[in-house]
Chain A
Amino acid sequence: MSLDEAEVRHVARLARLALPDEEIAALAPQLSAILAYAEQVREVAADEVEPTTHPLGLTDVLRADVRTPSTERDAILAGAPDPEEGRFAVPRIVDDETGGAS
């Protein structure tokens, strides 16, 4: 499988990376080569093989519903690029795509 520049651009948009045209152009053959190599995984493992997403297969790791102290607001905001009124400021949000849980 190879990726053309339009596909690379689409992926960069999904990954929210503002990549210049030269990098898009350079990435297309690089990603294609890596994916071509990675595609070997299709040579084995039939559909009935259960996927492994966790090496130990632990289940039901839960915590009791108990409150623990929150972090000082100042400590959380200390690393913020633009704190304002105890909150994290961002420039105008254009994409109202997915505000709020959906």
Chain B
Amino acid sequence: MNPLPEGWELVVGLEVHVELSTASKMWCGCSTEFGGEPNTNVCPVCTGQPGALPVANARAVHDAILLGLALDGTIAPRCRFHRKNYFYPDLAKNYQISQYDVPLVSDGHLDVELEVDGRREVRRVGIERLHMEEDTGKSVHLGATGRLHGADRSLIDYNRSGVPLLEIVSRPDVRDPETAQAYLRELQGIVRSLEVSDARMEEGSIRCDANVSVRRHGEPLGTRCEIKNLNSVRSLGRAIRAEAERQVALIEAGGEVVMETRHWDEEAGVTRTLRRKETVTDYRYFPDPDLVELVTTPERIAEVRAELPELPSATRARLVAAGAAPDQANALVTGGLVEVLDAAVADGAPTASAVNWLVGDVTGRLSALGLEIGASGLTGAHLAALIGLVEAGTLSTAMARQVLDVLLEERGTRGPSDIARERGLEQVSDAGALEGVVAAVVADDPASVAAVRAGNERAIGALMGKVMRETGGRADPRVVNELLRAAIAATEDDA
């Protein structure tokens, strides 16, 4: 797992930002909806108009406590909001309201499960702090490249300004890219199970920066670089690996790592200097005088704790206990499929087949369609019905797959039975309905009948094929087989 040459150790700490999916922003009543026309979800507060004042969103504070408890953190009995002062056009007030010396949550941890040499292993990553802050606006850079460098001017949209953010800072406990990736995935899973954020990396509702350093075993921590622009779990792993390799090569060549922020170039697969940190930015933090202290009592903590749903690690354990393989359990949790699974089982589907359907056919189709389970329309009741139809012999597995295709295409507007009926996909298992066809086929192919009678079992396949052709593939093979044998036996009796 250690990607580095013998004798080297990788040290990684992660900073994750999660945008909360509250209805309104952190300090004002503007919508947090993603993707509106520029500057349409704005007001005097989130555009920093003179005289406008922030009032904290109760739901955001609640969500932060909830996530803090899910991460087994300590909730500060009293804490404040601080102002982090720096000038940037997308920062409407030229200070960001954040937390400083006392974060809302400290000293948590997250256990991640990894497969190491074929065995599953649990790694604990410490969480130093979780604090509340606000998002900034977005800049569009006009010019040749569309990026900041080389732009002539920039246009600012404050729709995201003031959207509540949680910053989660891990301890430098991560020693390999896989653990970093598992940590991010696990955090994503927790945040989703708590329903505090949709945690989509592509929309920026979860973002991750990595602090990477290397050292020879036994030596003190090396100089770290902060890697930005990590747009997927995959790029997190690639970037850590590339950065660690760069640092080792640099040191082995007699160079020195410089403390700096580096930009991950996804296409080139390398990190590049973004800015040097030799002069530490002086943010002039001080308590925001527009906001008052937050007090969280033990009673309040107990209240929020009672709301904690089953966390992904517990869900995985439960699924494994119910018979799912560990990687299936993992896939169900990361795919957000557990709710549908539980509902299907509650509706009478056997766990094993529900798991197989979800991890196999459903997951494959969702990814091909680029759909999240929530948007697919597939419910537990649908899945239970589909499995029921197969078990009852009404649908063959192949037909059931076709029904699933249609169901997803229609986003679940109709159930499996309706689809099967309308498409004529139902299997014909009624012996009465098939006897005529079977009799005709047997009468029509005395050679095959004779072959079967002579003990050539394979010859029955030809007869089966004919019956299936005649019935448009809808005949239940099990029933046809029985009918054919009976019919052949009858000709024998006749003879």
A residues with CB within 8 A of B: 14, 16, 53-54, 57-71, 73, 76-77, 84-93, 95-102
Contact = CB atoms under 8 A, between A and B. Distances in A.
B292 A60 contact: yes
Nearest to A93: B154
Contacts of A102: 209
Q: Which of A57, A63, A64, A68 has the most CB of B within 10 A?
A: A63
Interface of B: 17, 22-24, 28-31, 37-44, 47, 49, 55-61, 78, 80, 86-91, 94, 96, 133-136, 139-141, 143, 148-149, 151-158, 165, 209, 274-275, 281-282, 284, 287, 289, 291-295
A58 B297 CA distance: 15
Contacts of B133: 101
Contact of B275 (A61, A62, A89, A97): A97
Contacts of A16: 87, 94
B281 A97 contact: yes
A86 B90 contact: no
Contact of B153 (A63, A92, A95): A92
A92 B142 CA distance: 9
Contact of B23 (A60, A65, A70, A87): A65
Given A67-B29, A84-B155, A96-B274, 4 more contacts: A73-B42, A76-B42, A85-B38, A92-B153
11 contacts: A58-B292, A61-B292, A63-B55, A73-B40, A76-B44, A87-B155, A92-B151, A97-B281, A98-B88, A99-B148, A101-B136
A87 B140 contact: yes
Contacts of B17: 101
Contacts, number: 151
Nearest to B159: A70
Contacts of B43: 68, 70-71, 76
B53 to A, nearest CB: 11
A53 B149 CA distance: 41
Contacts of B47: 71, 76
A87 B142 CA distance: 12
B282 A61 contact: no
A98 B90 CA distance: 10
B294 A87 contact: no
Contacts of A85: 38, 155
Given A66-B24, A87-B38, A99-B139, A92 B86 contact: no
A70 B287 contact: no
A19 to B, nearest CB: 15
A64 B275 CA distance: 40
A59 B292 contact: yes
B56 A61 contact: yes
B60 A65 contact: yes
A71 B161 CA distance: 14
Chain A interface secondary structure, helix, strand, loop or mixed?
loop
Given A98-B281, A100-B136, A89 B61 contact: no
A45 B158 CA distance: 43
Contact of A67 (B30, B88, B148, B149): B30
B139 A97 contact: no
A101 B205 CA distance: 12
Q: Among the interface residues B23, B135, B153, B295, which one has the most CB atoms of the partner chain A within 10 A?
A: B153
B155 A88 contact: yes
Nearest to A73: B39
Nearest to A94: B148
A67 B40 contact: no
Nearest to A84: B155
Contacts of B28: 68
Contact of A101 (B41, B55, B135): B135
A10 B94 CA distance: 18
Given A14-B282, A87-B38, A93 B151 contact: yes
Contacts of A77: 39
Contact of B295 (A60, A64, A92): A60
B89 A90 contact: yes
A101 B91 CA distance: 8
Contacts of B148: 93, 96, 99
B109 to A, nearest CB: 24
A16 B94 CA distance: 11
A71 B52 CA distance: 13
Residue of B24, B61, B133, B287 most packed against chain A (CB within 10 A)? B24
Contacts of B31: 67, 70
A12 B140 CA distance: 28
| A16, A61, A65 interface centre (most CB from chain B within 10 Å) | A65
Nearest to A77: B39
Nearest to B297: A60
A98 B24 contact: no
A53 B287 contact: yes
